[in-house]
Amino acid sequence: MLFRSLGLPLVYHPLSSQSDLIGFEGGVTAIISCSSPVENEPDLTLFLSYELNCAKALLQNTIEIDQLAPEQKKLDLFDCLNEVSNQIGGNLMRELEGKGMNFQLSLPSIYTGKASVNNFNRLYATHKVTGTTPKGRFEIQVLVSQLED
């Protein structure tokens, strides 16, 4: 998996309940919209949230693993999270395509802090994965647009 390749082994945690909050206080979240090309099929929104220390470790490990030249080491946290989020989103889309579901991905938008699911009108949670690395926690949450009956 991507996190392991970046030097951050994972431990996944079972969820006792679904939270209405997305992200971590003081952390960062990448949001990717996944639009269905088929009318009357739901769209997805992918939330990738990291505690700040976890996000910083992803950045540092990306710089070290890619052995970037000194002038390229100016990669910032947001650029790194955009790249990591694109990789995770792309992997998810390939999995879904294998099941006959096709989506078009937006570019990630990066936000800081927490947000309530209620702030994202007409979405409901379908799946949330939480995990811990030695450098901090992360969450991946998929929300689906609600269709009119």
Task: Report d(CA 31, CA 144) in Å as an integer.
Answer: 13
User: For residue 10, what are the CA distances in angstroms to 14, 22, 138?
Assistant: 13, 20, 10
Give residue-wise pLDDT tens across range 100-129.
Answer: 888 888 988 888 887 655 555 555 656 778
pLDDT score for 138: 86
Q: What is the largest CA-CA distance in the chain?
A: 56
d(CA 128, CA 79): 24
49, 139 Cβ separation under 8 angstroms: yes
Q: What is the pTM of this model?
A: 0.75
